[in-house]
Structures are given as structure tokens and as C-alpha cells.
Structure 1
Amino acid sequence: MTALTLPDIAVQDIRTALPLDWVGMCNIALPLLFQGNRLRASADAGVSLDDGSARGIHMSRLYLALEIFEQQPLSPGLLRQVLEDFLASHAGLSTAAYLNLRFDLLLKRPALVSPLAGWKAHPITLSAQLKDEMFHVELFVQLDYSSTCPCSAALARQLIQQQFLSDFDNRPLSHEAVLAWLGSAEGVVATPHSQRSVAKLQVRLREGSDAFPIVELIDQAEAALGTAVQTAVKRADEQAFALANGQNLMFCEDAARRLHLALRSLEGISGFKLRVEHAESLHAHDAVAESRWCWNG
């Protein structure tokens, strides 16, 4: 019996010859090796289809090229190697290759005062592109923090002042009486409103970078804000967090400016854009601010 050749529909002629910007696959399950840990990731892999007369690309070749992530640690050089493999397997069809990797990075963070510690998950996206022999990588990081409204804090202080005047009008002041009043619910009649907020940071790596400054980026951003959300806490940690909020009152504009200055000092990047979103506890809408540096588009 004569063996039949498996048909290859991708090489058959088509009626409409038209190049395509991006063809590939999304949400490919993938393991990554990063800082000695194996992470669960999701990948988008694709190439341009510059030969408009071709029916399609060879998606299985892209899929198989991703197997290298099982053996080698994640690095900018590895991303470039994978993109070069994409193009080598599509010679004559494609001149641009693209790869997005999404994963959560778990970082163990100490409490502010107590010896406790806990884990925080930071959503990370790496976007790499090799086009016209130009390679660049972008890193996206998201982190949560607390923001206390400066206006609300000022209004709360005024109400406390008014209550103090009312409670101590025509009364002799004593250290003990004032101290007791400050520690009572009757004295501190108002508190400022605060909310969980999110910073979305996107940076472009300098050409020739050999590592991803993910942890450094998170550390500098959290230090600039001063109110990163906590994990395991005791009462002393909660009190320290309240103090940090009181010492770091900020509108969304303030947070964006703090992060802009922090990212400008980060080594290994050639540009960035950022967005902060304050999920208002006063309003039914969010307060948002954006900033960028050396970033086009």
C-alpha cells in the first residue's frame, strides 16, 4: 500500500494575497525559570506574515521554540534567542517576531515593625520584539499601595480643632485632660479617607541589558510611595502603617510625581510610562494620573 503524504494546507495558494502584521498564538501555558524558581506563565507568540501570497505561518514551530524556557533562566538574551528562532523558522515569510510573557512574581515582604512576614504577588508582563533587526524589551509591573487624601486630612484636622474648642471652652487645660481627650473617640471626631491604589509601571530596557530589574523596580517604587500594602501584621505594624499614611498624604498627582522621579534613577532602562489609579472611597469614580519619560507612542 502506498503511503500518503500528509497535506500541508499552509502552503496552498490563496485567492487574496495580503500581508498580515501579526499571526500567532495567545495564552500558551509555559514554565519559566527566574531567580532560581519555576514560575507558571502565559505566553503570546507571533510573527508578521510579510509574504501575502502565503496561506499562513507554521504555528507549531513557534510553539516548539518556546521549549527552551524549560531549561534556561529567563533573561533578555534568551528572549532575543527565541525571537531569532521564530524568524529562522519562517525565513521568507516573516521579518518581525513578537513575544509576551505574563506571570506573577511572589515576593516575601517583612512587616513594618514585628518579625512577621508574608507573600505578595506582583503581576508581571515582558514584551519583546525583533523587527528590522532591532530588538527591544518592555517590562510591565503592577503594585498596590495605600493613598490618604491630603484635603480630607486637612478637613479632619479642622473638625478636631473645632471639637477641642467646644470641649475645652472656659475650662482649665491640664496635660492629663488633653492626653485623655486625644485618645478618646469623642475627641478625634473625624479621620481622613484613604483607599487602596494601584501603580502600573512600564519600562523599556536599555540595549544590551543582561537582566530584568523587576525586584529593583518594585523596591524603588514602594520606597518612593511609602505606603505599600502589607501582608501579615500585628497591631504594632498596623499602627506603623497608619503613621506611614499620615506622613505620606498624596493625591494621585503626588503619587505619579514620586514614581516618575524614582524611575528616572533606575539603572538599565531607556524610558518609561506610568499610571496610578486611586480607587476613591469618597467618590464613585477613580482618580487617575499618568506620566512618561523618553517614551513615544
Structure 2
Amino acid sequence: MPPFRQPSAAAPALSRTYPADFLADEAYRATLPDLQNGPASLIVGARKAIQHVGISNFRLPIRYRRQDGGEVTLETSVTGTVSLDADRKGINMSRIMRSFYAHAEKQFSLGVLAAAVSDYKDHLDAFDARLQMRLSYPLRAPSLRSGLEGWQYYDIAMELIDQGGRRLRVMHFDYVYSSTCPCSLELSEHARQARGQLATPHSQRSIARISAVMEGDDRLWFEDMVALCRRAVPTETQVMVKREDEQAFAELNAANPIFVEDAVRAFARELEAEPRIGDFRVIASHRESLHSHDAVSLLTEGPTFAQTSLDPMTFAGLRA
């Protein structure tokens, strides 16, 4: 590191006091450097188009409408990106936030999401744009037998993709359930009947992540996706549990033993029957209590989610 040098006598002295009363007027702002919109000669590295560039995880409260007509305000994490041409240096990322904030006070709808995407796509002169909102949605869930209720939370992400002039609306939905191994159940029953030996089947907390393209004009409510998942795999983990509920849950698991292959097919059956859903992907992970590894499965329908290579964190990223 070169030694520190005192400024020459000709150099002006720099103020070390923050100028709290300084106002940046329009004329001053016009003089500020803007490297993101600099010439192509400033590009670092390969002069290649970029598919996604933007901001991730800026948070703000958003109002969501419930299916019953009520409303809830939830902290929401927003990711916004646009494409960038090969001959452009960069983007002004704050414009993504400013475009979204212009619509943030409105009650959430896919129409609001579409308007925000259109705004920042125009402001940034981009061909493609994407906006994703992540939230944890609370619903009251009844216990199985005791009559108690508790709050069940569902991790959800709503995504709008504007690519090549085509817009896709996608819901990503996490569903946490218990999976009892059918093989273990049968072996436990064999031990009881053949040898009078008490045995218990193994089960584990499991998770499915469903990504579904929404079709048509009818709204697909978050509550609709909850009901769909419960029809497919009814052994959802419980919130409020007394002894009678714990016994009921053991009986419910015994009535619905399920391998990970069964799980993704059960979800697929319900998704195919839903007219408001087009292409979909189901990823499931059963966090094995017998093995020191997980059992995983992935099923896709349609070209939207078809893929040859998997991200190394595809299954590890599921949180049950």
C-alpha cells in the first residue's frame, strides 16, 4: 500500500461534516455519474446477455384477501429481475423497488403483480421481466378429535414471468405432512401376528413443494391449494394435539401409508383434475427416520418445469 500523502497546497480542503441541509435539485442530479447506464466499453467480462439481474429479498407488508372475504397483512419478501442485453452495462436496480412500491399499497392480486412487472420492464427497457413474492400464509386448522384449533403456516411464493411477450403466473406451495412407510407397517404387523412381538412402523415429517402454472380467469385461492394437498395426502402435520388427537393421527397414518413415489403421484392426480392449473412440478422429500438419508422424488407435467439438470440444492432446500 503506498504511503499516505498530505494533499498539496493547491488541493481544496474536503469537509468532514455531513451536510444535513444540502438539497439535491434537478440540476445537481443531472451531474451525478450513472455507471450502470454507461457505454458498452465499460462492460467487464464476456459481452453476453444476462437472463436475470435485479434484487432479491426486499421486504414490505402486503395485504392479501382471504377466500372468506377477510384480509390479512403479511410480511412479504420480493425478488424482481429483468433480462439485460449483451451490449448494455447494467440496470438501475432501485427502479425495480420504486416500481413495486408504486403498487404495494393495493390489495394483492395477480393484476397488481402484472402492473408492477409492466412498469419496471418499461422503465428498464428490458425484454423479459420476473417478479416473485414469498410469504408465510396462516390458516386456522382444527385438531382431529379434541375440537381445538391452531394456526398452520404455509410457505408460498407467487411468481409472474414475462418472457418473449408471454406471461406465466405460477404458485409455489409447500405442504408438510407425515409419511408412514408401507413396508415398515406391513413388517410391524407381521411381527405382531407371527410372533406376538410389539413393533412400530417408522414415519417421518415430509414435505412437498408444488409449483403450478395458473390458467384461466378464475382465482386459485391459497385455501384451494391447501384443500387440494389435503385430499392428495391427508396426513398433514398437526398444530393443536391432545391425547385423543395423537391417537387419531396414528390411526390416520396407518390408514394412509405412503412411499415418496406414491406422494408425488397422489399430488399429480389432484393437480391434473384442477382446471385452474396447467403445467406443474411436484418435489417431495421424506426425511427418513429409518435411514441416514432422505427419500426424494420429482414429477413434472408439461414443458414449463421440464429440466435435464437439477440444482444441487433442489432437495436439500426443502424445509420440513
**TM-score normalised to the size of structure 2?**
0.79
Say whether residues 1:57 and 2:87 are aligned partners: no
Secondary structure in 2 matching 1:108: strand
Equivalent pair of 2:103/2:116 in contact (CA under 8 Å): no
Q: Once structures 1 and 2 are overlaid, which stretch shifts more, 236-245 or 188-197?
A: 188-197
Aligned equivalent of 1:40: 75
Quote the sequence identity (%). Answer: 33
Structure 2 match to 1:170? none
- Greater CA drift, 6-15 or 75-84: 6-15
Give secondary structure in 2 for the equivalent of 1:70. coil
Secondary structure in structure 2 of the residue aligned to 1:43: strand
* Higher RCO structure (Cα 8 Å, ≥6 apart): 1
The answer on 1:230 being equivalent to 2:263 is no
Residues 47, 96 of structure 1: 8 Å contact kept: yes
Residue 226 of structure 1: how far off its partner (Å): 1.6
1:207-222 equivalences under 5 Å are 208-209=216-217, 211-222=219-230
Deviating beyond 4 angstroms after TM superposition, the runs of 4 or more aligned structure 1 residues are none
By how many angstroms is 1:62 displaced?
1.1
SS class of match (1:72): coil
Distance (Å, rounded) in 2 between the aligned partners of 1:248 and 1:68: 48
Q: 1:289 aligns with which of 297, 306, 310?
A: 297
Summarize deviations over 1:12-64 as a string: whole Å, max 9, x none. Answer: 324245432222111111222112111101111121122x4433212221111
1:65-214 aligned within 5 A? 65-91=99-125, 94-164=126-196, 189-206=198-215, 208-209=216-217, 211-214=219-222
Structure 1 counterpart SS, 2:281: strand
Distance 2:175 2:185 in 1: 24
Say whether the 8 Å CA contact 2:58–2:79 is kept in structure 1: yes
CA shift at 1:239, angstroms? 1.1
8 Å contact 1:95–1:132 — kept in the other structure? yes
Which residue type is aligned with residue 8 of structure 1?
D
Give yes or no for contact 1:99–1:127 (8 Å, CA) kept in 2: yes
Matched letter for residue 90 of structure 2: G
Question: 1:172 corresponds to which residue?
Answer: none
TM-aligned CA deviation for residue 98 of structure 1? 1.0
The answer to whether the aligner puts 1:22 opposite 2:52 as a matched pair is: yes
In the alignment, structure 2 segments of 5+ residues that lack a partner are 1-26, 66-70, 307-320
Calculate the TM-score normalised by the size of structure 1. 0.85
Letter in 2 for 1:190: A
Q: How many residues align?
A: 269
Distance 1:144 1:127 in 2: 21
Give 1:112 shift. 0.8
**Residue pair 1:76, 1:209 contacting (<8 A) in 2 also:** no
Give per-residue Cα distances to partners, 1:188-230, cap 9 Å, x unaligned. 6111111111111110111x43534322112111222121110
The CA RMSD over aligned residues, in Å, is 1.9
Whether the 8 Å CA contact 1:11–1:56 is kept in 2: the answer is yes
Q: Which amino acid aligns with 1:83?
A: V
